[in-house]
Structure 1
Amino acid sequence: MEFNILEICLLTALAFCFFVHLYYVLGVHLKLATYRLEELPAASNEPISIIICARNERENLEKFLPSIFAQDYPNFEVVIVNDRSWDGTIYLLEGLEKKYPNLKVVHVREGEKFIAGKKFAVTMGIKAASHEWLVFTDADCEPASVNWLRGMQRPADNDVQILLGYSPYFKKRSLLNALIRFETFFTAVNYLSFALKGMPYMGVGRNMAYKKSLFFKSKGFAAHMHIPSGDDDLFVNANATPSNTIIQIHKDTHVWSEPKRSFLAYLRQKKRHVGAGNFYKPKHKFILSAQIAIQFAFYALVITLACFPNTHFIAVGVFLLSLIVRCFVYPKLLKRLNYGELRWWFPILDIILMVFLVFNAILSIFVKKVAWK
């Protein structure tokens, strides 16, 4: 069988995309799939300050705070920053302060100077924290167990300054929810795997921890205070190193969160994330952009070559080989990261996610305005 010049070029491009894609699957993500989970520490080391920023979150605070205070950890405080709420949050917190002696409330009033979205609230919470080790989560989050803090406590290795956790979304019956959870899975696999590979580039504020001294030593969010988002991933991107960052994915340390209920709300959320990603270190932007571009090009080339009589069998064969390799890695990861039921829909969700990521990237070019809440 002879191929013309166009077919040879397309097949060469497909082979290149295939092997680069294999690098991300087998060279990066496989590290997380084979990562050995250790038992949680039986003892607690140092006191912890949990920081939660809330803006009109009365209902969620009432629902999820009991699981925070129920943690099996002897010495911790909960710092809640009420960021200009008008839904009655202040009255709820006044009552909770009488119930929980280890609750500390910080109020951000209307008219505060230098307010820049969530980052101002986070900074106020960190300043109010009494302890060196800070654990972060959100008002709409619920720890998977009472052992969450035992797993997120400061590691014995004093060189570790950042601990990256994992936060899945609650399951709902909808295609949007499946997409949100699968995208969250893909994001988590990426940042956790790259951290294991020695290139930590982001964390998720729903479940992460770092030293208070690191925050002030690096001047907090000063470098990107003008950006509404990025209180979590941009801080990690700027300060994480191969030696000062570790991960924690034990099932007891997962923090469950409420997903967006509408596609528009989800788009706004992802727009914020894309906006923060534009300020990552150049090497991180290149690797992450190349990852999406290569995957998109791979699908496009498979579809194109499948339309050619001489190459359709090769295109289908390469796609099936890629699928077999990925099905060796990702279903195991889906189960490990509490999304086991999605493994049966993996091939379909993978394609839907790719289309969505491309759509969101294009949308972010034209829609610039973002806000926390």
Structure 2
Amino acid sequence: MGLFLLWFFFGVGILIQIIYLLIIFGRTAFYKLSKSSSNSQNEEGVTVLVAAHNEFQNLKTLIPKLFEQDYPKFDVMVVNDRSTDRTKRLLEEMMAIYPRLRSVTVKYTPDHVTSKKFAMTLGIKVSKNDVILLTDADCVPNSNQWIRKMTAPVRENGKTFALGFSGYEKVKGFLNSWIQYETLLTAMYYLSFGLWKAPFMGVGRNLCYRRSFFMEVKAFKGFWHIEGGDDDLFVNQYATGKNTAIVLDPEANTVSKPKLTFKEYLVQKKRHLHAGKFYRAEDKQKIGFFSLSHALFWLGGFGLLIYFGIDQSWEQFFIVFGIILLRSVIVVAIFASASKKIQGTNAPKNSWMHDFLYLGYFWILGTISHQAKDIQWK
């Protein structure tokens, strides 16, 4: 009976994994990038919105970069959310240099709402333009075509949402290698399902939507109290296959500063994963089926290797080992192709090793995040 269960777990795991890797993630990995640029004359105004809490150093870098964008009609709105550093003075100095820079200050946050959602709502309410493009203070655009390309589906094709990718700077060390892998895997989830006309999340570091729609649905109604989720929960609740587009173009990406310590990273991921518990049931399943089959594959596979090794059934041992090796080759190939399409760069090193470590990451950190009650933005 035990051997049957091991084969069953291993078989179900590899079957679902192949479906995800080749069919679902393959939607991104095998995507044909368009070489044509937008020739539309619809250059509707865009407001780039940044919510910032004590981000003096990052804003000092970001704001000049934003005004290098090759787009004729845009302004930048920075919401100064209760900052105690030199953010306010910097914004005043920058507004004298850049006339299209505007700011609004949040002095306090009401008790019944979370700080970032309140800051963003205030910023969106006073925005001049209907097309809102979001990013964070610690991000920078990947090119001067960021605004044009990220907003094109909303401006030109009548979409409500445009979902983009935001990566992290590469630095030396295992933590950064893991961050690169996990960020790419997350992107493959939401970009691939978005390309399948079944979007379920986005990232606020690179997200575009209509202000009028935001106001019409009363913004974050229903999840004001949840720390985080101003991006993925909003998309999860309102994005559909008809009103949402995926922007898969390295020039439309943003790049963020990565966490440099495991403590900082775990705090960040707890907040990100915590929001996932509030996804719709069918969207939880999109991640759940992959993670469950991933666990079944590795646990069943290692169980079989141990069993056949002890029993000295070497023919069956090498069959199982060969299947594990073949899947690892597929993982590396899919990640390599998807990274080229999404980022225009090579995949993180040792994807096969990170794939195995993901087993502990998802189930341990995911469980902790699901039960956490100390989630904070800043």
In structure 2, what residue type is equivalent to 1:41? S
| TM-score, reference length from structure 1 | 0.95
What is residue 244 of structure 2 aligned with on the other side?
245
Amino acid at match of 1:120: F
Distance 1:113 1:367, change over 3 A: closer
Structure 2 distance, partners of 1:341, 1:352, is: 20
Q: Which residue in the other structure is 1:363 paired with?
A: 368
Matching of residues 151-170 of structure 1 within 5 Å: 151-155=149-153, 157-170=156-169
After alignment, is 59-68 or 363-372 more displaced? 363-372
Aligned position for 1:52? 50
Which string of whole-angstrom CA distances, capped at 9 and with x for unpartnered residues, describes residues 332-358 of structure 1? 112333374445411112122332222
Cα pair 2:336 2:346 within 8 Å, conserved: no
2:296 counterpart letter in structure 1: A
Question: What is aligned with 1:318?
Answer: 323
Supply the distance in 1 between the matched residues of 2:242 and 2:374 (Cα, whole angstroms). 36
In 2: Cα distance, 1:40 partner to 1:339 partner: 17
Does the 8 A contact of 2:335 with 2:347 survive in 1? Answer: no
Which among 63, 78, 96 is matched to residue 98 of structure 1? 96
Which residue does 1:207 correspond to in 2?
Answer: 206
> Equivalent residue of 2:124, what SS?
helix
1:241-320 mapped onto 2 (5 Å cutoff): 241-309=240-308, 310=313, 311-320=316-325
1:136 is aligned, of 130, 134, 137, to 134
- The two structures have a TM-score, normalised by structure 2, of 0.93
Match of 2:13 in 1: 17
Q: Look up the SS of the partner of 1:131 in the other structure.
A: coil
| Closer/same/farther in 2, CA of residues 205 and 178 from structure 1, 3 Å limit | same
Residue 332 of structure 1 corresponds to: 337
Unaligned runs of 5+ in 2: none
Q: 2:355 aligns with which of 350, 365, 368?
A: 350
DSSP 3-state at the match of 1:168 = strand
Q: Tell me: CA distance 1:28–1:217, structure 2 relative to 1, closer, same or farther (3 Å).
A: same
| Identity across matched positions, percent | 35
Call closer, same or farther: CA 1:360–1:221 in 2, change over 3 Å: same
Aligned match of 1:35: 31
Alpha-carbon displacement from aligned partner over 1:231-278 (angstroms, at most 9, x marks no partner)? 000000001001111111211111000011111111111111111101
User: One-letter code of the match for 2:25?
Assistant: H
Alpha carbons 2:10, 2:299 under 8 Å: kept: no
- The answer as to whether partners of 1:47 and 1:133 remain within 8 angstroms in 2 is yes
Q: How does 1:172-191 map to 2 (within 5 A)?
A: 172-191=171-190
2:358 corresponds to which letter in structure 1? Answer: L
CA contact (8 A) 2:164 2:206 kept: yes
CA contact (8 A) 1:61 1:139 kept: yes
**Distance in 1 separating the partners of 2:33 and 2:207:** 17
Aligned CA distance change for structure 1 residues 222 and 228 (closer, same or farther; 3 Å) = same
Structure 1 counterpart SS, 2:133: strand
Residue 12 of structure 1 and its aligned partner are, at CA, apart by 2.2
Task: Letter of the 1:47 partner, please give it.
Answer: G
Q: Which amino acid aligns with 2:342?
A: L
Q: Tell me if the contact between 2:134 and 2:205 (Cα under 8 Å) persists in the aligned partners.
A: yes
Distance in structure 2 (CA, Å) of the matches to 1:65 and 1:285 = 36
1:278 match: secondary structure: helix
Residue 157 of structure 1 deviates from its aligned partner by 5.0
CA distance in 1 between partners of 2:49 and 2:171 (Å)? 27
Secondary structure of the 1:56 match is: coil
RMSD (CA atoms): 1.7
1:42 and 1:175 map into 2 onto residues whose CA distance is 43
Tell me, in whole angstroms, the C-alpha distance in 1 between the residues paired with 2:39 and 2:141: 18
Q: CA deviation at 1:112?
A: 5.1
How has the CA–CA distance of structure 1 residues 40 and 355 changed in structure 2, closer, same or farther, with 3 Å as cutoff? farther
The total of aligned residue pairs comes to: 369
The residue type equivalent to 2:307 in the other structure is F
Residue by residue over 1:72-98, the C-alpha shift from the partner in whole angstroms, topping out at 9 and shown as x without a partner, is: 100101010000000110000011111
Letter in 1 for 2:191: L
Pair 1:80–1:344, CA change in 2 (3 A): closer
Given that 2:112 and 2:224 are in contact with CA atoms closer than 8 Å, whether structure 1 keeps it comes out as no
Q: 2: CA distance between counterparts of 1:283 and 1:148?
A: 32
Q: How does 1:63-74 map to 2 (within 5 A)?
A: 63-74=61-72
Aligned to 1:80: 78
Q: Name 2:60's counterpart in structure 1.
A: 62
Which moves more between the two structures, 26-35 or 347-356? Answer: 347-356
User: How far has the Cα of 1:113 moved from its partner?
Assistant: 6.1
On the 8 A contact 1:40/1:150 being kept in 2, the answer is no
In 2, are the aligned partners of 1:179 and 1:353 still within 8 Å (CA)?
A: no
SS in 2 for 1:210: strand
* Post-superposition CA distance 1:139-182 (Å, at most 9, x none): 01110111111101242554411000111100111110111111
| 8 Å contact kept, 1:271–1:364 | yes
Q: Which moved more, 1:294-303 or 1:103-112?
A: 103-112
Note if contact 1:133-1:154 (Cα within 8 Å) is conserved in structure 2. Answer: no
Maintained 8 Å contact 2:43/2:73:
no
